[in-house]
Amino acid sequence: MKIRNNMILRKYIPKDADTIVKWIKDERSFRYWCADRYPNFPISADDINCYYRIFGEDMHIFTAIDASDNIIGHFTLRYPNKSDKVLRLGFVIIDDRLRGKCIGKQMVSCAVDYAFNKLKAEKLTLGVFENNLNAFYCYKSCGFIETGQTEQYICSGETWNCIEMYILNEKI
């Protein structure tokens, strides 16, 4: 579908969940990925697929693969307010063995490109936990800006602040 530096985005298929759940090795990384969208850790591939069957109607769900067809990442784009002008990036995760190699930045850049050029969104938003610094700096490097708004979540018995961020479509 979309190719950038040997990364291809394709529509998510249910068997992708078998790989994605292997990347979520502890509750902290689980909460970084899903906040409170799933009640219990660990989750199974069936849990992911069930969630997407229930809530996925308003989502564009993607899997990133490399040139050898290996699954290397995953994310969703959804319409938070039934507006086709604003999309929300979520469930962003990459293969944990590939972290620190700019794969996340590459995938987020592909998501931004798809949201703006294919879906014609005017704005893309996301939330990132302030204690997830690698993700925060990845989003900043892709052009996302802090809104100044935060939301709090209770994760693993701690209060975590979630920073709201956005990027505008410069072509509109």
Prediction pTM value: 0.93
pLDDT tens digit sequence for 129-168: 999 999 999 999 999 999 998 899 988 789 999 999 999 9
Question: Which of these, 135, 57, 42, 48, lies nearest to 96 by C-alpha position?
Answer: 135
* The two three-digit tokens of residue 160, written as one number: 């975590």
What phi-psi label fits residue 92: left (phi over 0), alpha (psi between -120 and 50 degrees) or beta? beta
108-144 core/surface letters (b: 16 or more CB in 10 A; e: else): bbbbbebbbeeeebebbbbbbbeebeebbebbeebeb
pLDDT tens digit sequence for 46-105: 999 999 999 988 899 999 999 999 999 999 999 988 778 999 999 999 999 988 888 999
Q: Helix 133-141 crosses helix 103-113 at what angle (to 10 degrees)?
A: 50
Which H helix or E strand runs over 85?
Answer: none
Q: Are residues 105 and 138 in contact, defined by beta-carbon separation less than 8 angstroms?
A: yes
